[in-house]
Amino acid sequence: MMAIETRILGTIRRIPRGKVATYGAVARAAGFPGAARRVAWTLHRSFGLPWHRVLGAGGEIKLRGDSAVEQRLRLEAEGVAFRGRRVDMRRHEFKFPRKSAALKSKIR
DNA sequence: ACTGTGACACTGG
DNA sequence: ACCAGTGCCACAG
């Protein structure tokens, strides 16, 4: 598998239980801003990942049919709340840590 | 090198 | 809120 996919997969694996991230955010965190579609493609053909924690912009589920239902159920099972058809991002969006470093002094 | 393709993102009506 | 159009990136053939 290629480097890009490896990084994307690793990034997705960092999303903790009960949290979610968007395709675009994953792409940026992996170092490929704008490659949201690549994230989707990678997810489509990968196993053993918390795939259900990756959503479209605005916390919207982008799958169709049964898969969409399964994703919603999996998320709700980990305590993720929905607001209509989308996830309440204010409460559950996972912020990928910015390259470590100076954040301790930043906290007030 | 060129074209088509995605579980996308954004903007504008 | 719901499209349609346009921009995106990397990959497969």
pLDDT tens digit sequence for A28-52: 999 899 999 999 989 987 888 999 9
- DSSP string covering A2-67: -HHHHHHHHHHHTSPTT-BEEHHHHHHHTT-TT-HHHHHHHHHT--SS-GGGEEBGGGB----HHH
Position A83 scores a pLDDT of 93
pLDDT of residue A102: 60
- How many Å does it take to go from CA A36 to C1' C9? 8
Separation in Å: B9 C1' and A106 CA: 30
Residue A89: name the closest of A56, A62, A51, A65 by CA.
Answer: A56
Nucleotide nearest A58, CA–C1', reads B9
DSSP helix/strand/coil, A74? helix
pLDDT of residue A46: 84
CA of A73 to C1' of C10 (A): 31
Positions in chain A short of pLDDT 70? 1-2, 99-108
* Protein CA A108 to sugar C1' B10 (Å): 34
pLDDT at A45: 78
List protein-proximal bases of chain B (any atom < 7 A from a CB).
6-10
- Name the nt closest to A84 by C-alpha to C1': C1
- pLDDT of A108 reads 44
What pLDDT does residue A101 have?
A: 60
